[in-house]
Structures are given as C-alpha cells and as structure tokens.
Amino acid sequence: MKFVCDDNLGRLARWLRTLGFDTVFHQDFSDTAVLTCALNEQRTILTRDTRLAGKALARELVLLSSSDPLEQLQEVIRQRPIVMRMSDVFTRCPCCNLLVEKIDKQDYVAAIPAYVYQTINHFTRCTACARIFWRGTHVQRMIDCLRTAGITIG
C-alpha cells in the first residue's frame, strides 16, 4: 500500500517509511498537490484536515483524529488492511522515501563512526541523500515503542 501524508503528518510519514511503506510527504504540500499525488500515483491520503477529507476527489482517504504519530499509525492500521513484515522494516530512507541499498562498510569507513564500524557489519545507504544506516540499539527501542503502542510486526 502506498500513502501520501498531508503537510501536518511528517512524523507519521517517517514511521511509515521506517516500516517499509512508500509514503510521500512534503512540508509545503497544498491540498491540491496531495490530491494530485494520490490520484496520479494511486496512493491513500492520510490527513487530519477535515476540509481536505471532504473534497470529492479524495476517494482513498483516512481521516485521522490523533495528533500523536503512533496513535495515528494505529488509526491507519484499523482503517486499512496493511501488513507489516520485519523484512520490510528499514528498507526505505525515512527522509527521502527511496529504497536503501546494501553497502560494503569498507567503502564508507570515513563516513561511519569508529565504534559502529567495529561493532556492526551490515549497512545500507540512501541513493538520494547518501545517509548511511545500520541496525544499532535504536532499532530495539523503536520496536519496543511500537509494541508498547500495541503495534506488532509480523
């Protein structure tokens, strides 16, 4: 499933991308741009904006009530049949939304903190923004945060 988030849902967009969902978000997205993106790319609109939700073209839309991103994620899960798999987690850049690619750490030794380089073997990199990612202790904290919110990943 592909999503487009309106300009107020940046934190939700990052969570969805982290979970592997193709999610378009821009801070300066107008309602027209959100609708156009949804229609042209067959995306489900995620919004808290009742005015946007009321527009006739917004067929695939989830109107969210919470301001908390994890509660918003719960609302999306309740309203749309999405499947979250551990194999999809961390496959997209949370900033750019592009798929990340596996890299050899030896090719990026200067860009990786020394301790991380010594203790972690698997790295990915965003092809657009060049950010490098690895599964450190933050991964378990994120999964625990999701579990605490009642969100499970299969």
The pLDDT tens digits of the residues spanning 70-91 come to 999 999 999 988 888 989 999 9
* Secondary structure percentages of the chain, helix, strand, coil, to 5: 40, 15, 45
The pLDDT tens digits of the residues spanning 13-55 come to 999 999 999 999 999 999 999 999 999 999 999 999 999 888 7
| Model pTM score | 0.90
- 41 neighbors 4 (Cβ within 8 angstroms): yes
Closest by CA to 14, choosing from 37, 41, 46, 38, is 46
